[in-house]
Amino acid sequence: MLVEKVAFIGSGELAESLLKGFLDKKFIAADQVWMNNHTNKERLADLEKTYHVHTTQDKAVALKKADLIIFAFRPADTSAAVAEMKPFLRRDQLIITLMVGVPTAFIQSAAGVDLPIVRAMPNTSASIGLSATGIAAGACVSEAQLNLAKQLFETVGTVSVVAENEIDVIAGVAGSGPAYLYYLAQSMQEAGVREGLSEASSALLVQQTLLGAANLLKQSEKSASDLLNAVATPGGTTQAGIDTLDNHSVREAVNACIHQAIVRAKEMSAPFSK
């Protein structure tokens, strides 16, 4: 499938992260991209200035002759947005939706036409080419179209092809995942300052520690459990810290955190599944 025009319907943080990643990896050129939103002219002006893409508040202009359309608006806006776009959606376009909780079947029903729709759940690390993305094909997606979607998201990180009913799990684990790590980083930095480090030193030490650990986890043939056991030697400082985390039931808290994110994703799906 030849992609000559890409239209982003919605231009929030996730859309910008993907745009930056796609452009940096030269999957698409800036003059092939149209960014759209219907409320924020200043946001569009900033995107045009920063990335040299086309911008418009007119969905018809954005969608005209678009080969690839990325839905990046709020889930609550789905019915109204699809109704507005309905005259401009065609079977030969590939639609990728980033919206949490909105099944492909709902979009297809709202459009009133059999459209090839791929649900994708990337995260904001796409802006530096390190997203963990899950994608799922709707009923009308061909193998070639699914491969195109996979290639697209591989330009900004790793891709897992899953069943659509697993997308909510991807949202809880990977879509929201960066925020969990930022929460941990913030907590570690605050602890370092409380124990006497400067804010700058504590931030640098935590950033590099997390970066190194993440890279070792990816590059090593050892599991996370193996790496943990290698560092947390009995009677040492690390084990003292791990024991404290266990005493505070942090593992259970992480499990509950991810579970609640998945529950919320399913709750968001409910209005679109009736």
User: What sign results for the dihedral spanned by CA atoms 81, 82, 83, 86?
Assistant: positive
- The neighbour count for residue 142, using CB atoms within 10 Å, is 12
The annotation status of 10 as a binding-site residue, yes or no, is yes
The annotation status of 75 as a binding-site residue, yes or no, is yes
Q: What gap in Å lies between CA 230 and CA 233, rounded to an integer?
A: 7
The annotation status of 176 as a binding-site residue, yes or no, is no
The annotation status of 112 as a binding-site residue, yes or no, is no
The annotation status of 74 as a binding-site residue, yes or no, is yes
**In the 8-state DSSP scheme, what is residue 223?**
-
The annotation status of 9 as a binding-site residue, yes or no, is yes
The annotation status of 11 as a binding-site residue, yes or no, is yes
Q: What are phi and psi of 89, to 5 degrees?
A: -95, 135
The annotation status of 91 as a binding-site residue, yes or no, is no
Helix (H) or strand (E) holding 34: strand 33-36
Q: What gap in Å lies between CA 99 and CA 52, rounded to an integer?
A: 25
AA identity, residue 8: F
> Residues comprising the binding site for NADP(+)?
9-14, 72-75
> Residues comprising the binding site?
9-14, 72-75
